[in-house]
């Protein structure tokens, strides 16, 4: 059976990642990778669903044991992708979605060049800023920090394979673009180096 792909989705604050990924997960061939983190759960977050909440010691043990596909330190907390679960999903033929920040994405690209990197963006920086302010959930300081971070994130867009713009209310359209990109990428000739040999072997 053909293996599933490792699909990395990054996007700055206000890009609507959560909604788009929820839409994507309506298709059975996509599975969300639940990360491990050392940060405290936020209200409503469930262990094993949003994250595996573990201590710094446990996290370090998992790194030492080679159990993390990738990991990063973000705002003084560790975040990482459990390796065994990731491999099992891809072996089953399903595509694994990693919702991770840009540094993690660059690590994944280095370790697994065959992964597919997708950057989700609001239509423009000014729309993003308006959306962040419109949410009214963050302080001005947090908004500024996220907008500053956005410049660093978007600076790496050239390292990604696909870019998807999230227009107003467009989560379903974004999910469709991502499905199409992944479907096309599965047919890429570089993924089938033995096509000729296998064709005549059967």
Residue list 113-132, contact with ligand 5GP (CB under 6 A): none
Least Cβ distance, residue 168 to ligand 5GP (angstroms): 23
**Distances in whole angstroms, Cα of residue 95 to Cα of each of 8, 30, 88, 134:** 10, 5, 11, 34
Q: Taking a C-beta distance cutoff of 8 angstroms, is the pair 98, 7 a contact?
A: yes
Q: What is the pairing mode between strands 35-37 and 77-82?
A: antiparallel
Residue list 24-63, contact with ligand 5GP (CB under 6 A): 35, 39
Q: Counting every residue, how long is the chain? A: 202
Least Cβ distance, residue 107 to ligand 5GP (angstroms): 7
Residue list 71-110, contact with ligand 5GP (CB under 6 A): 72, 74, 79-81, 99-101, 104
Cα separation, 80 vs 126, in Å, equals 31
Residue 71 or 162 with smaller CB distance to ligand 5GP: 71
Q: Which residues bind ligand 5GP (CB under 6 A)?
A: 35, 39, 70, 72, 74, 79-81, 99-101, 104
């Amino acid at each position: 059976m053909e293996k599933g792909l490792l699909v990395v989705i990054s996007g700055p604050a206000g890009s609507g990642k959560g909604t788009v990924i929820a839409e994507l997960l309506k298709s059975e061939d996509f599975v969300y990778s639940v990360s491990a983190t050392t940060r405290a759960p936020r209200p409503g977050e469930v262990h094993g669903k949003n994250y595996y909440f573990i201590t710094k010691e446990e996290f370090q043990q998992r790194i030492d044991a080679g159990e993390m596909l990738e990991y990063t330190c973000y705002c003084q907390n560790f975040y990482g992708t459990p390796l065994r679960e990731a491999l099992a999903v891809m072996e089953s033929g399903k595509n694994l979605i990693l919702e991770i920040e840009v540094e993690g994405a660059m690590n994944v690209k280095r370790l697994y060049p065959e992964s597919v990197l997708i950057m989700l963006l609001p239509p423009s920086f000014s729309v993003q800023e308006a959306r962040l302010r419109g949410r009214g959930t963050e302080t001005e300081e947090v908004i500024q920090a996220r907008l500053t971070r956005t410049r660093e994130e978007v600076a790496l867009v050239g390292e990604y394979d696909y870019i998807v713009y999230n227009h107003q209310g467009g989560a379903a359209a974004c999910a469709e673009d991502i499905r199409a990109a992944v479907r096309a990428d599965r047919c890429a000739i570089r993924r089938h180096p033995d096509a000729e040999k296998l064709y005549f072997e059967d």
